[in-house]
Amino acid sequence: MYSCINGATTMPYTLEQDLEAAAKAGFDAVEIWSRKLDAYLKTRDAGALKALLDSHGLRAASLCPYGLVGFSDNREQLRAIERAAAVAAGIDCPVLLVCADAPPAGMDRDEAFDVMAATARDYAVRAAGHGVKIAIEPLGRHPFIPGPREALEVIERAGHDSLGLMMDFFHYYKSGVPLEDIRAIPTELLLIVHVDDCEDLPPADLTDGHRLYMGEGVLPLKDMMGILREKGYSGALSVEIFREEYWEKDPVEISVAAKAAYDRMVEG
């Protein structure tokens, strides 16, 4: 496993500031926030971004987030995936992270899984053309894909080797995902892991703004990390925290605090 920080953790800052801060804090990798990437690419290209990553000694673990749109017109999202996959290939980034929409009320659940599987396959075909994979992110208490069981159902029905899923400590906790469901994820399909903590509130009341640095909240970090080690997971552990209180600080200060929490979690 290797250390990573997601651009959401330093949300108010630019991609260039994110990379500089991540490097100063000692992270191995970054997840690049799509909005920041789009702003950067208005005046530069993927080659310049690769050179910037290299100059900081960083790799890109994913580009995120993108919409996995299966139940409405997704032509623009498909074009976005094609563009993002080309950029990812140019910077040696292996994964695009996507979040699914939900079926309309009244749609048969089996039909909904088939529709989403066809969409996921469409995304995967486009990404695979650039040597990139698609990771589906279950979201806390999402009406359709709240946990790994549902994501794996989509992946199985899609039947494409460039599809996998991700794990987010916060989202899995909010959805009440049992630890056994985490153990059951095929390791080869677990493409990236988001690490975080959260306040002591009922899961139904939690929002992204309640996230905390690891070790400052109530998530069972030791259990989750133990399962990842048991599974032989060797990918990125990416700190993703949406907290305005943190965002008010300097990006280097945020990143240093995130790396210190990461180190304590990994060593604990």
Interatomic CA distance for residues 242 and 64, integer angstroms = 14
Residue range 77-117, pLDDT digits in tens: 999 999 999 999 999 999 999 999 999 999 999 999 999 99
- Residue pair 159/166 in contact (Cβ under 8 Å)? The answer is no
Domains, the chain, with CATH or none: 2-267 (3.20.20.150)
Q: How confident is the model at residue 268 (pLDDT cuts 50, 70, 90)?
A: confident
Residue range 213-246, pLDDT digits in tens: 999 999 999 999 999 999 999 999 999 999 999 9
Average model confidence (pLDDT) for the chain? 98
Residue range 150-167, pLDDT digits in tens: 999 999 999 999 999 999
What's the token pair of residue 221?
Answer: 């970090």
- Residue pair 13/246 in contact (Cβ under 8 Å)? The answer is no
Residue of 126, 125, 145 whose CA lies nearest to 137:
145
pLDDT at residue 179 tops 90: yes
CA 6, 9, 15, 20 torsion-angle sign: negative
Interatomic CA distance for residues 148 and 261, integer angstroms = 26
Interatomic CA distance for residues 228 and 104, integer angstroms = 35
- The β-bridge relationship of strands 190-195 and 29-33 is unpaired
Residue range 36-53, pLDDT digits in tens: 999 999 999 999 999 999
pTM of the model: 0.97
